[in-house]
Amino acid sequence: MEKEKAYKLLAVQMGLSNSKAKELIDRGVVYVGNKKVAIARGELPVDTKFRVLKLHKVDVLYENDEVAALNKPAFLTSDEAAREVPDGRLLHRLDRETSGVLLLAKTKAFEKKATEAFKARAVYKVYTCWVDGIVSEPMTIDKPLKTIKQNGHAYSKVDRKGKEAITHIEPVMISGHRTKLRVVIETGRTHQIRVHLKSIGHPIIGDRQYGVTSAQTNRMLLHALEMKLLGYDFRAPEPKGFDVLAGG
């Protein structure tokens, strides 16, 4: 059977440039049936039919002279979402498949105050997510994390020589063999929530790096719901169908 590189087939099928087709695959929005196409240069049969997920737009939750709060959709990087505010500078980041509250400073003075607040753990951060398995009681996960960076990618793991990381979780809904959690983090280590939940045997649904994938789930089911700092309180509603995607 004749085969060709996935990005080239997608480019022809969708009428795109090769570079745009490769970008869509790398972003994680291209599927064949229910299976995500993970490698742009991987070879597939020439009659392969692709399905491309729709990219949602960035919503501005709030903006004034010193700060902007965005609702970042899944599949956009924080840097891409930040382009919505040309004069803004990112105060933190969300993983590509994590949606929700993303903050940008619009003045150097606010950036300095916000950075100090993050360092002092004076920022209240709430997430919501769906995990594999049943979590019946609230708990605190206090496990140090070490982050390794290689070839432009980061990976974190529990390590007693790592940096302090504290995550509080509370179950809010159980569906089948899955639990929806409310998560509050005191620290902001790389992939903290994802690694901590994996470490207790309840990885986030759709997390290809640390967790489990699902035919019903197109994305990692982690959403930054709320952030409070310096007298502000920003909230981003869960994406439409967030609970439905979790399946049963």
CATH assignment at residue 152? 3.30.2350.10
Tell me what pLDDT residue 10 has.
Answer: 80
Do both 29 and 138 map to the same domain? no
Nearest CA to 85 out of 58, 110, 115, 112 is that of: 58
Same domain? For 151 and 96 the reply is yes
Whether residue 37 is found in the same domain as residue 157: no
- According to the model, what pLDDT value does residue 215 have? 53
- Tens digit of each residue's pLDDT (9 = 90 or more) over 162-179: 999 999 999 999 998 999
The pLDDT of residue 248? 53
Q: Based on the fold, state whether residues 64 and 170 are members of the same structural domain.
A: yes
DSSP 203: P
CB 242 within 8 A of CB 223: yes
- Do residues 26 and 111 share a domain? no
For the chain, the domain total comes to: 2
Which pLDDT score, from 0 to 100, does residue 244 have?
Answer: 76
Residues with a known catalytic role: 95
The answer on 239 and 149 residing in a single domain is yes
Q: Which of 17, 32, 52 is the last residue of a domain?
A: 52
pLDDT at 88: 95
Q: What is the CATH number of the domain that holds 27?
A: 3.10.290.10
| Residue 187 to residues 114, 167, 232, Cα–Cα distance (Å) | 15, 8, 19
**What residue has token string 């970008």?**
23
pLDDT at 16: 81
| 18 shares its domain with 46 | yes
36, 131: one domain: no
Query: What span, in angstroms and rounded, lies between the C-alpha atoms of 191 and 213?
Result: 17
Phi and psi at residue 103, in whole multiples of 5°? Answer: -110, 140
pLDDT tens per residue, the chain (248 residues)? Answer: 788 888 888 888 888 888 878 888 887 788 888 787 878 888 888 888 888 877 778 999 999 999 999 999 998 899 989 999 999 999 999 998 999 999 999 999 999 999 999 999 999 999 999 999 999 999 999 999 999 988 778 889 999 999 999 999 999 999 989 999 999 999 999 999 999 999 999 999 989 889 876 656 778 999 999 999 999 999 999 998 888 777 65
Q: What is the residue range of 174's domain?
A: 59-245
Asked if residue 29 and residue 108 are part of one domain, the reply reads no
Q: Given this model, what pLDDT does residue 213 score?
A: 66
Q: Would you state the pLDDT for residue 247?
A: 66
- Pair 218, 133 in one domain: yes
Q: What is the pLDDT of residue 222?
A: 97
Pair (11, 68) in one structural domain:
no
My answer on whether 156 and 240 are in the same domain is yes
The DSSP symbol for 164 reads -
